[in-house]
Amino acid sequence: MSFARPDHISDLDTLPRMPAWITSVRVETLEDVAFLSGAALTHLHLVLGRDCVPETLLRDRLALRAAEACVGFSGRPERAGALRDAVHLLRPGDLPGPAGETCLAWRRATERAVSVKALNRALSDRSAQTIAAWLDAGQGAPVTQAAKVLEAVLTEAHRAEVPALILAEATLAQALGWDHLVPLLAAGLKRADLRKRGDDLRLACHHALLSSVVEAVRLAADLARRVAHLKTVAPKLRAKAAGDAVEMFLTRDAVAPSALPLPDRAARRLCDRLVDLGAVRELTGRDTFRLYGV
């Protein structure tokens, strides 16, 4: 296994803190909110650049939150637990259902570097040409670009909230120089915001980013601490392929024992051992069909 260096914990201690003035000032004008959301995004950029932050895991957990928001926009009742079940407990030949498809779309969108091909994989019901055309709608500063793409998709394809938000997030990521999509807008927007246009939509996007970035920074710090602990206890694991199993926990929001590279009984024992060590959590509260995550 190859895990944390001895200086990993000190790296955690130096994670930059979000300046209080970014979240304490109450502003409503587009100019002021744009300034604060830009400052928040700059701070998140610094956090994502730290080696101790498990960016792949962070993106996967933020993808779950984005999916939950989108399912809510469509009026469906599924929440995070049901979405995890729909994705991670699928058997060969099963269909994930509408909510599961939404969750899978967000996960696929975050897995690979942003490109038309990768976005087409996530949004397989849209052609690559259509995706490229929608992405071209974005012009201006990063959040303005994202808002214009969001507006273009929703104007042309009503009730296409998932493609619209994924492409807006992809536009924002590219404008900020990020290789991968980091879901931020969906969890911060309200259903009514998706009916707005022009400056009203831009203002809503800035507000959404301001709240979502604060939560993403908090989550990044929390996951960094949890991952550091998992890496610390990993050498205590005796099971064969334990290292490969741990790597899965380091990159995925949730893991079913059946997905681990171990026999079924050994996989369940490993998960129980990690829970006893405080390295992972059981996420469902059930006695069977359990899921585990950092």
Q: What is the structure's pLDDT at 24?
A: 81
Q: Which token pair is 87?
A: 């994705």
Proportion of the chain above pLDDT 70, given as a percent? 96
The whole-number average pLDDT for the span 39-52 is 95
Q: How far apart are CA 217 and CA 88, in angstroms?
A: 26
On the question of pLDDT at 41 being above 50, the answer is: yes
For residue 189, the one-letter residue type is L
Q: How far apart are CA 258 and CA 31, in angstroms?
A: 51
CA nearest 100: which of 76, 128, 119? 76
Q: How far apart are CA 152 and CA 155, in angstroms?
A: 5
Q: How far apart are CA 64 and CA 153, in angstroms?
A: 22
Q: What is the structure's pLDDT at 2?
A: 43
Which residue has better confidence, 51 or 28? 51
In this predicted model, what pLDDT tens digit does every residue of 180-210 receive, in sequence order? 999 999 999 999 999 999 999 999 999 999 9
What is the four-CA torsion angle of 110, 254, 52, 118, rounded to 10 degrees? Answer: -10
- Taking phi over 0 as left and psi of -120 to 50 as alpha, with beta for the rest, 289 belongs to left
Check: CB of residue 66 under 8 Å from CB of residue 208.
Answer: no
Confidence of residue 11 (pLDDT cuts 50, 70, 90): low
Q: Which token pair is 225?
A: 């601490």
- Taking phi over 0 as left and psi of -120 to 50 as alpha, with beta for the rest, 151 belongs to alpha
Q: Which token pair is 4?
A: 């944390």
On the question of pLDDT at 238 being above 90, the answer is: no
In this predicted model, what pLDDT tens digit does every residue of 51-108 receive, in sequence order? 999 999 999 999 999 999 999 998 888 899 999 999 999 888 888 999 999 999 999 9
Locus of tokens 């120089």: 177
Q: What is the structure's pLDDT at 27?
A: 79
Confidence of residue 1 (pLDDT cuts 50, 70, 90): very low
Q: Which pTM does this prediction carry?
A: 0.92
Confidence of residue 13 (pLDDT cuts 50, 70, 90): low
In this predicted model, what pLDDT tens digit does every residue of 116-134 receive, in sequence order? 999 999 999 999 999 999 9
Q: What is the structure's pLDDT at 30?
A: 94
String of b and e for 210-223 (b: at least 16 CB within 10 Å)?
Answer: bbbbbebbebbbeb
Q: What is the structure's pLDDT at 273?
A: 95
The mean pLDDT of the chain is 93
In this predicted model, what pLDDT tens digit does every residue of 140-180 receive, in sequence order? 999 999 999 999 999 999 889 999 999 999 999 999 999 99
Q: What is the structure's pLDDT at 5?
A: 45
